[in-house]
Amino acid sequence: MKTAFIAAFLLLRAAPASAGDDMRHGAQAPVASAAAAAVDPDVMARAAADKLYNDSLYPQAASAYEDLLRSQPGDPYLLYNAGNAQFRVKRPGRALLYYARAWRLLPRNSDMRYNLDFALKSTGQSLVPEGVPPFLHRLYYSASDREIAALASLAFWALCLLGAGAALRPALKDRLLPAAGAAAGLLLFFGAWGAARLSAPLRNAAVVVQHEAVLRSGPNETFNAYATLPEGRVVRILDDSRDDFWEVGVQKEGIKGWITRDELERI
């Protein structure tokens, strides 16, 4: 059982290789063989998009990455590359959106973290909350939500198996109960970590993807407009039950209101 937890920890700490240039805007992708590229149209399409980007044809690259994301919305490397292209064409909202989605999937990737923080700072925001030491923030985000859930599940099943073993084999009870206690402790730890992450700033959040968004006092255009939010501003989603307007909270200004759905994209 100890071996299983050590293996899980080593898997958790494994980070993908990354590549970037002066501002960490180089195209990033998993290694693919030439043979795979020759038969897989998605690999060929990605290679073509990467070439457009590396040839500084940023508008065409941005469009190509958008097309790829329609069929591969959960690929963190593709999201990262799409964010790079959107940043180059001066679309900070979509750049931030894609960086945030990529980083939530691979929070240990230094390039994804760096570019997300850079995009946030370019819009007057920050990845690390004020007063929080950066190393603690990195530690807190040393695992993705999926990894935390997987480790909690592993601890749960270890607890179940050890408890069942102690009940079925009384002779082994004294040896199994300490391990069961350790599994219970890990389950509580990962469960608490996952629960705390539910209130993370980029969880249940959206970003303004239009030039600016109008904040209204109610969910239609007859209500007063009392603030505008620039492209790239991250907001907390309070109510997304309507198709036309979402109620959001703006943490920096400490206000809330309603914004048209078309002006926002969920992270």
CATH of the domain at 27: 1.25.40.10
Residue 236, in any domain of the structure: yes
pLDDT of residue 104: 96
pTM of the full structure: 0.83
pLDDT at position 223 over 70: yes
Tell whether 94 and 30 lie within a shared domain. Answer: yes
Tell whether 171 and 259 lie within a shared domain. Answer: no
Residue 2, in any domain of the structure: no
Boundary of a domain, candidates 90, 123, 156: 123
pLDDT of residue 38: 56
Tell whether 171 and 209 lie within a shared domain. Answer: no
Number of domains in the chain: 3
pLDDT interval class at 24 (50, 70, 90): low
Tell whether 88 and 155 lie within a shared domain. Answer: no
pLDDT interval class at 15 (50, 70, 90): very low
**Interval 31-72: pLDDT, tens:** 444 544 556 788 899 999 999 999 999 999 999 999 999 999
pLDDT of residue 13: 38
More confident: 62 or 21: 62
Residue 9, in any domain of the structure: no
Tell whether 27 and 116 lie within a shared domain. Answer: yes
**Interval 159-177: pLDDT, tens:** 999 999 989 998 888 899 9
Percent of the chain with pLDDT over 70: 85
Residue 140, in any domain of the structure: no
Tell whether 165 and 232 lie within a shared domain. Answer: no
Boundary of a domain, candidates 173, 197, 221: 197
Tell whether 33 and 77 lie within a shared domain. Answer: yes
Residue 222, in any domain of the structure: yes
**Interval 90-148: pLDDT, tens:** 999 999 999 999 999 999 999 999 999 999 999 999 999 989 999 999 999 999 999 99
Structural domain of 41: 17-123
pLDDT of residue 40: 78
pLDDT of residue 140: 96
Tell whether 169 and 214 lie within a shared domain. Answer: no
pLDDT of residue 11: 36
Q: State the helix-helix crossing angle for 76-88 and 58-71, rounded to 10 degrees.
A: 150
Tell whether 177 and 252 lie within a shared domain. Answer: no
Percent of the chain with pLDDT over 90: 76
pLDDT at position 5 over 90: no
Residue 138, in any domain of the structure: no
The CATH number covering residue 221 comes to 2.30.30.40
Residue 129, in any domain of the structure: no
Tell whether 211 and 190 lie within a shared domain. Answer: no
Mean of pLDDT values over 180-208: 95
Boundary of a domain, candidates 153, 174, 197: 197
Residue 134, in any domain of the structure: no
Tell whether 23 and 113 lie within a shared domain. Answer: yes
pLDDT, averaged across the chain: 88
User: Cβ distance 77 to 105 under 8 Å?
Assistant: no
pLDDT of residue 237: 97
Tell whether 54 and 111 lie within a shared domain. Answer: yes
